[in-house]
């Protein structure tokens, strides 16, 4: 789909098409649709980034809480969104050794307990378990404010890649 096609969609069609570019947070698409027309794919991406950046802290936390744990029970129960399932499988998180899975589950639990939301990382850009575990180890010592920022920055990366799956590059 080209950006011109995106601009021609009915609001409801836009909202349906982009409802999960921010994981399980369709409110983003409902807000961004009001900013059309977009001149480019980049402008569309910037609109979603600005939406995320301008949320208050409670809303940013809600966005982060909408993300599933990496290699968590939802993956193995086939209850992830299609996007998340594909991203986690693409990073091999559905094929971890027992040791890797146990380490990831332990670190995810520590992270969630400390910050109140799951560890969010763009697995398509960190597609090896070693890099994901390294990211967890590096970010666990941070404070909550730093992790809200890190998490939202990773949501932006995920969002951009998901938009690029929908809209052709200019």
Catalytic residues: 67
Secondary-structure breakdown of the chain: helix, strand, coil percentages, each rounded to the nearest 5: 65, 0, 35
* Dmax (CA) of the chain: 50
Alpha carbon distance 98, 169 (integer Å): 40
Alpha carbon distance 119, 146 (integer Å): 12
Helices (H), 54-143: 57-65, 73-76, 82-90, 98-115, 129-139
What's the CA dihedral at 29, 35, 38, 44 to 10 degrees? -40
């Amino acid at each position: 789909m080209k950006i011109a096609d995106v601009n021609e969609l009915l609001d409801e069609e836009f909202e349906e098409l982009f409802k999960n570019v921010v994981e399980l947070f369709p409110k983003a698409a409902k807000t961004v649709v009001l900013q059309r027309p977009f001149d480019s794919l980049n402008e569309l991406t910037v609109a979603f980034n600005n939406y995320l950046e301008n949320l208050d802290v409670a809303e940013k936390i809600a966005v982060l809480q909408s993300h599933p744990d990496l290699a968590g029970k939802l993956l193995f129960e086939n209850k992830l969104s299609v996007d998340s399932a594909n991203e986690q499988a693409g990073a091999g998180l559905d094929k971890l050794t027992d040791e890797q899975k146990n380490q990831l589950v332990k670190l995810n639990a520590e992270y969630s307990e400390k910050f109140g939301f799951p560890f969010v990382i763009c697995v398509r850009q960190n597609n090896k378990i070693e890099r994901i575990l390294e990211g967890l180890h590096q970010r666990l010592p941070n404070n909550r404010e730093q992790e809200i920022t890190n998490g939202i920055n990773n949501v932006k990366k995920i969002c951009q890649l998901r938009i690029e799956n929908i809209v052709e590059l200019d």
